[in-house]
Structure 1
Amino acid sequence: MSEFESKVVLVTGASSGIGAATAKGFSKHGALLSLTGRNEERLAQVADECKKLGAKDVLEVVGDVSKQDDMEKIIKETADKFGEMHVLVNNAGCSEWTLIENFELDKFDRCFNVNVRAVLYLTKLALPYLEKSKGCVVNVSSIASNMYCLPLNIIYTTSKAACDHLTKAAAFELAKNGIRVNAVNPGTVETDILLKVGISKEQNDEIFNQQANLHPLNERNVEVEEVVDAILFLASDKATMITGSCLKVDGGRGLTGQ
């Protein structure tokens, strides 16, 4: 029997990309899932796939983690349904592209509300349940947090640097509660995050093609399943003494500084 059998796992941003793949990964181990995302139709599709893959039960909570009321609803409905929580995966992410000369406060707020504020507040709300279960938190960050500075990317990269520091600070504070907090820092993963900020399909494909050879190992982008494997590892008993770590899954791209 898998160690995740009948364990309650909450995944944010579960309607697509890494979040959807993470939900499916835990499903294969018989977990009880609480999945949240903004797109009700896609969330329902992911939930159905998770049930087919072996999830013991799946709760769908439509919500926006940039909103306080929605975050509180997500935790409450999870607790009402399952009564406990063992793993919190803070995956929901936001990307904003802008030059400093075109910087707008609302873009900063949108990105930081999802990538930093929600991570901290959801961890706080989940704390009573994670303390009882001696559970763990896995945050989905990025190698952009400390590796490179690209034009247009100042808000996103700064938010991910904040996410990394938040991960370490939370790990230090919550160690006394028996709660582990770690992050995964993927290299380029081909998801739809750029399409959500107005990048065309052609531009999106061009960007991903250009990024591929920046990963020295195999000269390809990171596959979403490889990120999921890292998340599952950090949430597992194999990582019992790992906390405050930011695990790069980047095919060596962080070694290049690009």
Structure 2
Amino acid sequence: MATSDAFQVSSLKGKVALITGASSGIGAGTSVLFAQLGAQLALNGRDVENLKKVAQKCAQCGGAEPFLVPGDLTDEETVRKTVEQTLAHFGRLDVLVNSAGILAMGSIETTDLAQYDKVMDVNVRSVYHLTQLCVPHLIKTRGSIVNVSSVNGQRSFPGVLAYCMSKSAIDQFTRCVALELAPKQVRVNSVCPGVIVTEVHKRAGLDDEQYAKFLARCKETHALGRPGEVEEVAQSIAFLASDAASFITGVNLPIDGGRHAMCPR
């Protein structure tokens, strides 16, 4: 239940949060914000050096030093160790943020099975497995889960077929698990960003010129006329993870500057 604390909307004090994809982009920004809001953090990412830099930023916010659980979550043993080590270190888990994910370009004509499998393994299978292992511990704390999806899960876009499919799966996963865990008072929601300024598009193959043109198109494709910033998504994740959202579950929340409401372009 919500409390009378007027600051609950901006407080995660005392909550233990496991954040994946924390070495870059939305996961990194969410980690720093959670630290500022008083959360105790277990951070997962594949880039160990970047993960250490994010941990330093979190510590500079005045919070506790984050506990690092690096590794590739497509490896089942890594997933098990991530959960076990987090619980051994903190003794509890209140929040799971599934932010790890990849973007891949390709159509039905160009996306081979190897690329399809990689996208689905990272964006869906690893999320399913990690969530499954965390659920018993979240039930104990009546905790919450926030999945990072995409407007691509709600709208159809050409040229990113496997990615769109993976994010649509995450939205359905969110809704189904929310219904399953609601009787146990565990809330499950997702955020669905539009174009956010991160490195994900360049990692998918866009060069600097292509990326600049891609961002410029946001004037036409996003109702607010611009791409979003990592911090804008992180704020929404923090809200959904906080006690201020105690009566919200099963929601796929667009954080997309109105992209989902626009005509296809």
TM-score range, shorter chain: over 0.9
Which residue is equivalent to 1:69?
Answer: 77
Q: Distance in 2 between matches of 1:146 and 1:210?
A: 19
Q: Which runs of 5+ in 2 are unaligned?
A: 1-6
Pick from 144, 152, 165: which aligns with 2:152?
144
Shift of 1:197: 2.3
Identity value in percent: 40
* Residue of structure 2 in register with 1:92 after alignment: 100
List per-residue Cα deviations over 1:215-236 (Å, max 9, x = no partner).
Answer: 112x111111111111011111
Q: CA, structure 1 residues 212+148, in 2 after alignment: closer, same or farther (shift >3 Å)?
A: farther
Pick aligned residue for 1:256 from 253, 258, 262: 262
1-structure distance, mates of 2:213, 2:85: 41
Shift of 1:212: 3.9
Looking at structure 1, the residues matched to 23 and 120 of structure 2 have their Cα atoms a distance apart, in angstroms, of 20
**Per-residue deviation, residues 168-227 of structure 1 (Å, max 9, x unmatched):** 00000111221000000111101101222232222222212223431112x111111111
How far, CA to CA, are the matches of 2:173 and 2:82 in structure 1? 21
Q: Is residue 83 from structure 1 mapped to residue 98 from structure 2 by the alignment? A: no
- Alignment partner of 1:147: what SS? coil
Alpha-carbon distance in 1 for matches of 2:191, 2:262: 18
- Aligned residue for 2:200? 193
Choose between structure 1 and 2 for higher RCO, CA contacts under 8 A separated by at least 6 residues: 2
Matched AA of 1:107 = Q
Q: Which residue of 1 aligns with 2:247?
A: 241
Detail structure 1 runs of 4+ shifted over 3 Å in the superposition.
Answer: none
Give CA-to-partner distance per residue, 1:54-82, whole Å, 9 cap, x none.
Answer: 32231111111122111111111111111
Q: Is the 8 A contact 1:21 1:225 kept in 2?
A: yes
Measure the CA separation in 1 of the matches of 2:124 and 2:115.
Answer: 14
Kept after mapping to 1: 8 A contact 2:105/2:205: no
Question: For residues 86-165 of structure 1, what are the structure 2 equivalents within 5 Å?
Answer: 86-150=94-158, 152-165=159-172
- What residue in structure 1 maps to residue 46 of structure 2? 38
Q: Which residue of the partner structure matches residue 18 of structure 2?
A: 10
Amino acid at match of 1:18: I
**What CA distance in whole angstroms lies between the structure 1 residues aligned with 2:65 and 2:238?**
18
- RMSD over aligned Cα atoms: 1.3
- Where does structure 1 lack aligned partners over 5 or more consecutive residues? none
| 1:94-143 superposed Cα distances (whole Å, 9 cap, x missing partner) | 11111212221111111111111111111111112101110000000011
How far, CA to CA, are the matches of 2:116 and 2:77 in structure 1?
A: 20
